[in-house]
Structure 1
Amino acid sequence: MSQEHVNRRSMLRGCGGIGLAAFGLGCGAGTASAAVSASPRFDLTKPSYDLFRHKRLHDVTVQQGFAFDGINKRLFVAQRRNGTDTKAGDLCITQLDFAGNYVSYMHLSGFGHGVAFGVEPRGTESWLWTEVDANANGYGTRLARFKFVKGGSLSHASSAIAKYSPVPGAVEYTCSIDPVHENLVLRHHKYGAKHIAVYAMADAKAGDFSRPKAYFKQPSIPGTMQGYTAYGQYLYCLTGNAYSASNPAPGNAHLVSVNLNAGVIAQGPVLTKAGGTLEFREPEGLAVYRTDAGQSRLFLGFASGAAGNRRSNLFYKNVLL
């Protein structure tokens, strides 16, 4: 299905019923009740546990976002590529196993910053959902979907990429996937502010973005945004900066949860001391994973190590309210 066809259908459907107009995205003003199914939320005040520390990635730069393929037991971590212009949008995606052992990598050119992305399992394959077509500041201006290829290299202009512009008027996109409740969460810039949209993965995979489950302007969250993800009815955001003379341990990494149906903060900001003894310690990325035993976990990422030898660290929380 072409993107042009999707856009025309969205415009036609958006002026009635529960289409785009109902969420203030399309043909007129209006509101509608959000429709994300009710769920418990992670208690951000509870302790965090290690998955791994000090693991090497393919590149030596600070990690950005990360995401799991829970079906095929793969972990992917995004970095901005070393040796290229920081505003070029060139990324390196490292594949690890769940113990943090290196498996492979893929290079992406002209995609974006990598603060968040998602993975869609398709049989034995992993398909990535990322930003693409980086602007002058190095942030993606569209949404992309493509197959992860070990050792591969992909240009933003490749015909192997399916591209989408889900929200009319949006100028920057990132996304995350809730693999438990099968939703795609889209964070984007519009009207001078960040907004959040939630779509059923079934609709997103069909290229249909005309029926968001929720849409709202992101509430004010203090600090530098370093990652986000969703679990059911709640969005989770990670903010903060690396340790420095002005930001000594325990640092300023905080977690916030947002009710997707109300568009308001549910808990936080809560200071997290996960990985508090790490050298450098910069908060980088959030993702959700459910174990084979059925335990849902909220994963927090941190970069560590000296410049030119950055490492990956993952921790998780597992208490739901």
Structure 2
Amino acid sequence: MPPDARARRASFRKRLASGDLILAPGADSGMGASLVERAGHECVYMTGSGVANKLLGKADVGLLSLTEMAMMVRFLVQATRLPVIADADSGYGNAVNVMRTVEEYEAAGATGLHLEDQEVPKRCGSIAGKEVVPAEEMAGKIRAALNARGDENLVLIARTDARGPHGLDEAIRRGQLYAAAGADMIFPDALLSVEEYAAFARAVPGPKVFNMGGYARKRTTPKIPLGQVAELGYCLVLFPLASIRAGIRSELDFLVGLRERGTEFEVEHLRELEGHAVENWYEFTGISDIRALEDRYLPAASVAARYTNSAGHMPGED
């Protein structure tokens, strides 16, 4: 576990206690997490959909395992100093499996994680066709998760996906049950209107999570101004795929231009990057940090020999 993981959790707990809204953009990799920090945000959300989409190139339908997801948690935590709230899907099994999931995510350094009440295999919460386990079974998963955590500041979030298959009243009932089971935060996913989010917040006690998701052409969940989200009674808002989709759009557009026009297109693109943080990609991705470590720990003579009369980008150059 990263040495500062406990400190991140304690700090995040204090931040939650303030009641002020926390914005957590989604990230699917260590680079993604570092970008969230570079942009000045205070929290990272490891999106399960984003990881599945980018790592596998497939839809988010429960194809990744606990081992793969815990590995990604570790990558994100090591790439940023920010708290990382991680998607733990349905816990990868029953209550017994959930206990290992919590242990692995905690060992990887997660600040918090959310578990959902979908049947296995799960699917992205904004997509139709979801099925949920009995509410009492999910309550048992929550109790098991609480017993499995070693650090009481690890934030355990219970998500209900019941709105799609069973309606708002059942989602509210489950939110109340999961809060009573001891979940630190309650996460109603894929509600359909501002009014539904307001009704849920009024009926369900404790801190709550708002998912600013929904990435189809037709909106399935409302896009609400952040001030209104806070007024409704939510204290953590997730933007799971927003920046990831923006990045994929830019990448795809670039690749089409490269296919059509070749080197000339890339040269034009490089002109557009002048003065941007990514213009010098090697420095952006930390080669100067590596050089500093070499100077600190490797024999000085060998480092000097490595770089003397060596062609290529010299770490530290603009």
With the length of structure 1 as denominator, give the TM-score of the two structures.
0.30
More helix by share: 2
Question: Which of the pair has more CA radius of gyration?
Answer: 2
More strand by share: 1
With the length of structure 2 as denominator, give the TM-score of the two structures.
0.30
